[in-house]
Structure 1
Amino acid sequence: MAENDLVVVFLNGSGTHTGEFRGKSSTNKRVNIRSADLYKIENEKIVEHWNVVDQLNLLHQNGTTLS
């Protein structure tokens, strides 16, 4: 999606939890991850970039509980 000098990219990806992540050892479970990226373009170049990743959902998928 784009408007004026801003471009938004939404990503849905998947993979297998095969290594340590945020203190949780490998579960070998399939996980999904969502993120959104916002780019500001000037003179056909990226001049700013923001990124948001749904890490809370990822933690829940591998069995991590928050206290």
Structure 2
Amino acid sequence: MGALFESDEAFYFAIGGFVAACFCVGLAVLALVRPAGIGTRELGGFVVGFGLFMASYVIAMVVYRYVPS
């Protein structure tokens, strides 16, 4: 596993991609399970909230990259 992720940055990108994939799968499951589907307001709230979360994640990665070791 260590050979797959040669740096911390690669690991953080992989985790970010995994979280984004889980979010998309969760939205798809929610759309299939709810009889009325996902309303526009709920979908907008989920996407905006998740977008803010991912933006803070990316900002943290950028800050981590520029902090001297």
Sort the TM-score into its range (normalised by shorter chain): under 0.3
Alignment TM-score, normalising by the size of structure 2: 0.27
Structure showing the higher helix proportion among its residues: 2
What TM-score do the two structures reach when normalised by structure 1?
0.27
Greater RCO, 1 or 2 (C-alpha within 8 Å, sep 6+): 2
The structure with more strand, counted as a fraction of residues? 1
